[in-house]
Amino acid sequence: MIILEKVVQKVLEDQQNIRLIRELLQTLYTSLCTLVQRVGKSVLVGNINMWVHRMETILHWQQQLNNIQITRPAFKGTTLTDLPLCLQLNIMQRLSDGRDLVSLGQVAPDLQVLSEDRLLWKKLCQYHFTDRQIRKRLILSDKGQLDWKKMYFKLIRCYPRKEQYGDTLQLCRHCHILSWKGTDHPCTANNPETCSTSLSPQDFINLFRF
Protein backbone atom coordinates (compact mmCIF):
# COMPACT_ATOMS: atom_id res chain seq x y z
CA MET A 1 0.00 0.00 0.00
CA ILE A 2 2.91 2.33 0.71
CA ILE A 3 4.36 1.66 -2.75
CA LEU A 4 0.94 2.14 -4.34
CA GLU A 5 0.50 5.43 -2.53
CA LYS A 6 3.80 6.71 -3.90
CA VAL A 7 2.84 5.59 -7.41
CA VAL A 8 -0.53 7.35 -7.18
CA GLN A 9 1.08 10.55 -5.89
CA LYS A 10 3.56 10.45 -8.76
CA VAL A 11 0.72 10.06 -11.27
CA LEU A 12 -1.21 12.93 -9.66
CA GLU A 13 1.85 15.16 -9.88
CA ASP A 14 2.94 14.27 -13.42
CA GLN A 15 -0.52 13.54 -14.90
CA GLN A 16 0.96 10.66 -16.87
CA ASN A 17 -0.06 6.97 -17.11
CA ILE A 18 -3.41 7.82 -15.51
CA ARG A 19 -5.31 5.07 -17.30
CA LEU A 20 -2.78 2.38 -16.34
CA ILE A 21 -2.89 3.14 -12.62
CA ARG A 22 -6.70 3.36 -12.76
CA GLU A 23 -6.84 -0.14 -14.22
CA LEU A 24 -4.36 -1.41 -11.62
CA LEU A 25 -6.38 0.03 -8.73
CA GLN A 26 -9.65 -1.31 -10.15
CA THR A 27 -8.19 -4.80 -10.50
CA LEU A 28 -6.83 -4.67 -6.95
CA TYR A 29 -10.12 -3.39 -5.55
CA THR A 30 -12.14 -6.07 -7.34
CA SER A 31 -9.81 -8.80 -6.06
CA LEU A 32 -10.01 -7.51 -2.49
CA CYS A 33 -13.82 -7.35 -2.68
CA THR A 34 -13.88 -11.03 -3.58
CA LEU A 35 -11.51 -11.97 -0.77
CA VAL A 36 -13.25 -9.83 1.89
CA GLN A 37 -16.65 -11.31 1.01
CA ARG A 38 -15.19 -14.77 1.57
CA VAL A 39 -13.76 -13.89 5.00
CA GLY A 40 -12.75 -17.06 6.80
CA LYS A 41 -12.00 -18.83 3.53
CA SER A 42 -9.55 -16.32 2.08
CA VAL A 43 -5.83 -15.84 2.49
CA LEU A 44 -6.07 -12.26 3.79
CA VAL A 45 -3.73 -11.73 6.74
CA GLY A 46 -4.79 -9.45 9.58
CA ASN A 47 -7.98 -7.88 10.86
CA ILE A 48 -10.81 -7.64 8.33
CA ASN A 49 -11.39 -3.99 9.31
CA MET A 50 -7.85 -3.20 8.24
CA TRP A 51 -8.56 -4.54 4.75
CA VAL A 52 -11.83 -2.62 4.55
CA HIS A 53 -9.90 0.54 5.42
CA ARG A 54 -7.40 -0.25 2.66
CA MET A 55 -10.24 -0.69 0.18
CA GLU A 56 -11.60 2.73 1.20
CA THR A 57 -8.14 4.16 0.59
CA ILE A 58 -8.11 2.64 -2.91
CA LEU A 59 -11.52 4.20 -3.62
CA HIS A 60 -10.15 7.55 -2.44
CA TRP A 61 -7.19 7.23 -4.82
CA GLN A 62 -9.52 6.37 -7.68
CA GLN A 63 -11.59 9.48 -6.94
CA GLN A 64 -8.45 11.63 -6.95
CA LEU A 65 -7.46 10.21 -10.34
CA ASN A 66 -10.96 10.81 -11.71
CA ASN A 67 -10.78 14.44 -10.59
CA ILE A 68 -7.56 15.16 -12.48
CA GLN A 69 -7.98 18.10 -14.82
CA ILE A 70 -5.28 17.83 -17.45
CA THR A 71 -3.98 21.30 -18.23
CA ARG A 72 -3.29 22.03 -21.86
CA PRO A 73 0.07 23.67 -22.65
CA ALA A 74 0.03 27.30 -23.71
CA PHE A 75 2.12 26.45 -26.77
CA LYS A 76 0.39 27.74 -29.92
CA GLY A 77 2.70 26.23 -32.52
CA THR A 78 2.11 23.34 -34.90
CA THR A 79 -0.26 20.68 -33.65
CA LEU A 80 -0.92 17.14 -34.85
CA THR A 81 -3.92 18.25 -36.90
CA ASP A 82 -1.77 20.85 -38.67
CA LEU A 83 0.34 18.09 -40.24
CA PRO A 84 -0.51 16.59 -43.64
CA LEU A 85 -3.02 13.74 -43.44
CA CYS A 86 -0.43 11.18 -44.55
CA LEU A 87 1.81 12.15 -41.59
CA GLN A 88 -1.10 12.04 -39.14
CA LEU A 89 -1.95 8.57 -40.38
CA ASN A 90 1.69 7.53 -40.17
CA ILE A 91 1.83 8.63 -36.52
CA MET A 92 -1.35 6.71 -35.74
CA GLN A 93 0.21 3.59 -37.21
CA ARG A 94 2.85 3.76 -34.45
CA LEU A 95 0.22 3.23 -31.74
CA SER A 96 0.08 -0.36 -30.54
CA ASP A 97 -3.01 -0.10 -28.33
CA GLY A 98 -6.45 0.25 -29.89
CA ARG A 99 -7.68 2.19 -26.85
CA ASP A 100 -5.07 4.86 -27.54
CA LEU A 101 -6.29 5.04 -31.13
CA VAL A 102 -9.88 5.55 -29.96
CA SER A 103 -8.78 8.22 -27.46
CA LEU A 104 -6.83 10.06 -30.12
CA GLY A 105 -9.86 10.00 -32.39
CA GLN A 106 -11.85 11.83 -29.70
CA VAL A 107 -9.50 14.82 -29.77
CA ALA A 108 -10.76 16.37 -33.00
CA PRO A 109 -13.26 15.51 -35.77
CA ASP A 110 -10.51 15.11 -38.38
CA LEU A 111 -8.61 12.69 -36.16
CA GLN A 112 -11.81 10.79 -35.51
CA VAL A 113 -12.20 10.14 -39.22
CA LEU A 114 -8.60 8.95 -39.52
CA SER A 115 -8.90 6.75 -36.44
CA GLU A 116 -11.61 4.73 -38.23
CA ASP A 117 -9.27 3.84 -41.09
CA ARG A 118 -9.68 0.12 -41.80
CA LEU A 119 -5.99 -0.34 -42.62
CA LEU A 120 -5.01 0.99 -39.18
CA TRP A 121 -7.12 -1.59 -37.40
CA LYS A 122 -6.09 -4.34 -39.80
CA LYS A 123 -2.41 -3.72 -39.05
CA LEU A 124 -3.18 -3.60 -35.33
CA CYS A 125 -4.89 -7.00 -35.51
CA GLN A 126 -2.07 -8.50 -37.55
CA TYR A 127 0.55 -7.08 -35.18
CA HIS A 128 -0.95 -8.57 -32.01
CA PHE A 129 -2.59 -11.75 -33.25
CA THR A 130 -1.85 -14.71 -35.51
CA ASP A 131 -3.66 -15.38 -38.79
CA ARG A 132 -5.33 -18.39 -37.19
CA GLN A 133 -6.67 -16.32 -34.30
CA ILE A 134 -7.97 -13.68 -36.70
CA ARG A 135 -9.72 -16.24 -38.91
CA LYS A 136 -11.61 -17.54 -35.87
CA ARG A 137 -13.01 -14.09 -35.03
CA LEU A 138 -14.05 -12.69 -38.41
CA ILE A 139 -16.70 -9.96 -38.24
CA LEU A 140 -18.34 -8.45 -41.32
CA SER A 141 -19.62 -4.86 -41.52
CA ASP A 142 -22.98 -3.87 -43.01
CA LYS A 143 -21.16 -3.37 -46.32
CA GLY A 144 -19.89 -6.94 -46.29
CA GLN A 145 -16.29 -5.93 -45.50
CA LEU A 146 -14.18 -7.18 -42.61
CA ASP A 147 -14.75 -4.91 -39.61
CA TRP A 148 -11.18 -4.83 -38.31
CA LYS A 149 -11.97 -2.47 -35.44
CA LYS A 150 -14.65 -4.72 -33.96
CA MET A 151 -12.43 -7.72 -34.61
CA TYR A 152 -9.57 -6.12 -32.67
CA PHE A 153 -11.65 -5.57 -29.54
CA LYS A 154 -13.12 -9.05 -29.90
CA LEU A 155 -9.65 -10.54 -30.19
CA ILE A 156 -8.23 -8.78 -27.13
CA ARG A 157 -11.05 -10.29 -25.08
CA CYS A 158 -10.17 -13.76 -26.32
CA TYR A 159 -6.38 -13.77 -26.63
CA PRO A 160 -3.40 -12.03 -24.97
CA ARG A 161 -1.85 -9.27 -27.04
CA LYS A 162 1.73 -9.37 -28.25
CA GLU A 163 4.17 -8.52 -25.48
CA GLN A 164 6.36 -5.45 -25.92
CA TYR A 165 9.65 -4.64 -24.26
CA GLY A 166 11.77 -1.51 -24.46
CA ASP A 167 15.00 -3.47 -24.02
CA THR A 168 15.67 -7.16 -24.26
CA LEU A 169 17.69 -9.37 -21.93
CA GLN A 170 19.85 -12.01 -23.53
CA LEU A 171 21.23 -15.21 -22.05
CA CYS A 172 24.48 -16.66 -23.28
CA ARG A 173 24.05 -20.43 -23.45
CA HIS A 174 27.83 -20.90 -23.43
CA CYS A 175 28.84 -19.01 -20.28
CA HIS A 176 25.36 -18.47 -18.74
CA ILE A 177 25.73 -14.70 -18.48
CA LEU A 178 22.79 -12.28 -18.72
CA SER A 179 23.29 -9.07 -20.68
CA TRP A 180 21.24 -6.38 -22.38
CA LYS A 181 20.78 -6.67 -26.12
CA GLY A 182 23.44 -4.62 -27.88
CA THR A 183 26.01 -4.90 -25.08
CA ASP A 184 28.92 -7.32 -25.11
CA HIS A 185 30.09 -9.62 -22.34
CA PRO A 186 33.44 -11.47 -22.04
CA CYS A 187 32.27 -14.65 -23.74
CA THR A 188 34.84 -17.41 -24.33
CA ALA A 189 32.89 -19.06 -27.14
CA ASN A 190 34.38 -19.06 -30.65
CA ASN A 191 31.22 -17.47 -32.05
CA PRO A 192 29.43 -15.56 -29.21
CA GLU A 193 26.64 -14.26 -31.47
CA THR A 194 25.25 -17.77 -32.00
CA CYS A 195 25.18 -18.48 -28.26
CA SER A 196 22.83 -15.64 -27.24
CA THR A 197 19.08 -16.09 -26.92
CA SER A 198 16.53 -13.39 -26.10
CA LEU A 199 14.55 -13.68 -22.87
CA SER A 200 11.00 -12.46 -22.30
CA PRO A 201 10.07 -11.31 -18.76
CA GLN A 202 8.45 -14.71 -18.17
CA ASP A 203 11.60 -16.51 -19.36
CA PHE A 204 13.62 -14.41 -16.92
CA ILE A 205 11.32 -15.33 -14.02
CA ASN A 206 11.53 -19.00 -15.01
CA LEU A 207 15.30 -18.91 -14.46
CA PHE A 208 14.65 -18.63 -10.70
CA ARG A 209 12.24 -21.55 -10.49
CA PHE A 210 13.54 -24.74 -8.95
Query: Tell me: the pLDDT tens digits for 45-81?
Result: 777 788 888 889 999 999 998 888 766 666 667 778 8
Gap between the Cα atoms of 23 and 26, Å rounded: 5
Question: Residue 208, Cβ neighbours under 10 Å: how many?
Answer: 6
What average pLDDT score do residues 184-210 get? 76
pLDDT value at 163 more than 80: no
pLDDT given for residue 189 in this prediction: 77
| Polymer length of the chain | 210
Q: At what angle do helices 2-14 and 18-37 cross, to 10 degrees?
A: 150
pLDDT digits 0-9 by tens, 26-48: 988 888 888 777 655 556 677 77
